[in-house]
């Protein structure tokens, strides 16, 4: 088995992005399919369909970043908020289907791995990454290592008894409920009616529309409250913001987020607050999944 190339898969709430990745983390070829969300069976078929065109000869392993809670010892997906994947050993299914080692990790942990090794967090020993996409994912690098455990940073409370969270989450006022791409969709609908989206919100902000700018600053405000709290827990050298919405809206979210985070964080951690955009953009999850696959090959040896 050649270990020059692997396949990384970024399983998102709206699309499944698969790519063949080389040892330097370069994406050589990519294939994308919409995420089937009507049933687990269709979702699994979608994952296989995303991988299949890339699974030729010379692929050494598969790595997946999935928006799910995992059993650390077995890699089994225990449950998911935004996709229909519950109590299922996706790793075993794919290892059997494609005949290569398979590594599965939480999607935001995988994005944190990529940004730390190859992106905005290069050289840092401590960082927090938040992905603002369909949901809000969190990943942490702590004392020079990716934290592989539970880091559901999107489900911290930023508005007590606030708006209900998404999917199967029963919480209220979670960061995900107020700062995800879905939350931005809802903010846009509130302003311009049904069918308005986060894209429209960001587009109008780019044109200087004051209501759009205000709505995004409001989201940035709550994002900053969460970042301030994470600084008080992890004291990161930087906070990296990724995800489709997070990257597209960064210039409108960050100024307010920075101000609030500075107010909430304690000295001396707050002195060096850095909130930066993910450098690998929407490829962070894909590339991180590839890095994970290379780790899986190394472990097999």
For the bound state, the minimum distance from the C-beta of residue 173 to Zn ion, rounded and expressed in Å, comes to: 9
Which lies closer to Zn ion via its Cβ, residue 165 or residue 201? 165
The one among 49, 169, 213, 269 contacting Zn ion by CB under 5 A:
169
* φ/ψ bin of 105: left (φ > 0), alpha (ψ from -120 to 50), beta (otherwise): beta
How many positions of this chain bind Zn ion (CB under 5 A)? 6
The one among 171, 203, 218, 281 contacting Zn ion by CB under 5 A:
171
Residue 197 burial (CB count, 10 A):
17
Which lies closer to Zn ion via its Cβ, residue 185 or residue 283? 185
Return the range that interacts with Zn ion (CB under 5 A); candidates 2-10, 131-139, 160-168, 215-223.
160-168
Return the range that interacts with Zn ion (CB under 5 A); candidates 1-9, 55-63, 154-162, 214-222.
154-162
Which lies closer to Zn ion via its Cβ, residue 202 or residue 227? 227
The one among 21, 83, 165, 293 contacting Zn ion by CB under 5 A:
165
Return the range that interacts with Zn ion (CB under 5 A); candidates 174-182, 193-201, 217-225, 262-270.
174-182
Residue 129 burial (CB count, 10 A):
34
The one among 25, 100, 155, 280 contacting Zn ion by CB under 5 A:
155
Work out whether 162 is an interface residue with Zn ion (CB under 5 A). Answer: no
Where on the chain is the footprint of Zn ion (CB under 5 A)? 155, 165, 169, 171, 174, 176
């Amino acid at each position: 088995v050649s270990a020059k190339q692997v396949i990384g898969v970024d399983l998102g709430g709206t699309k499944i992005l698969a790519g063949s990745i080389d040892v330097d983390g370069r994406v050589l070829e990519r294939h994308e399919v919409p995420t089937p969300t009507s049933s687990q069976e269709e979702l699994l078929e979608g994952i296989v369909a995303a991988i299949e065109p890339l699974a030729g000869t010379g692929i050494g392993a598969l790595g997946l970043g999935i928006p799910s809670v995992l059993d650390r010892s077995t890699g089994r997906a225990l449950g998911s908020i935004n996709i229909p994947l519950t109590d299922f050993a996706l790793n075993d299914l794919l290892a059997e289907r494609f005949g290569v080692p398979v590594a599965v990790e939480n999607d935001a942990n995988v994005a944190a791995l990529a940004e730390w090794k190859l992106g905005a967090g290069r050289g840092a020993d401590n960082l927090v990454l938040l992905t603002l996409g369909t949901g809000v994912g969190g990943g942490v690098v702590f004392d020079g290592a990716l934290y592989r455990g539970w880091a559901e940073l999107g489900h911290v409370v930023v508005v007590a008894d606030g708006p209900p969270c998404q999917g199967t989450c029963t919480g209220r006022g979670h960061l995900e409920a107020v700062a995800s791409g879905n939350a931005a969709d809802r903010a846009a609908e509130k302003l311009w009616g049904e069918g308005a989206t986060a894209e429209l919100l960001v587009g109008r902000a780019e044109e200087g529309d004051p209501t759009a700018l205000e709505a995004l600053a409001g989201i940035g405000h709550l994002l900053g409250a969460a970042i301030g709290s994470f600084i008080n827990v992890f004291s990161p050298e930087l906070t990296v913001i990724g995800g489709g919405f997070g990257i597209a809206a960064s210039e409108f979210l960050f100024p307010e987020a920075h101000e609030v985070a500075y107010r909430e964080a304690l000295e001396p951690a707050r002195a060096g607050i850095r909130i930066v955009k993910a450098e690998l953009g929407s490829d962070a999850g894909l590339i991180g999944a590839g890095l994970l696959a290379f780790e899986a090959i190394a472990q097999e040896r």
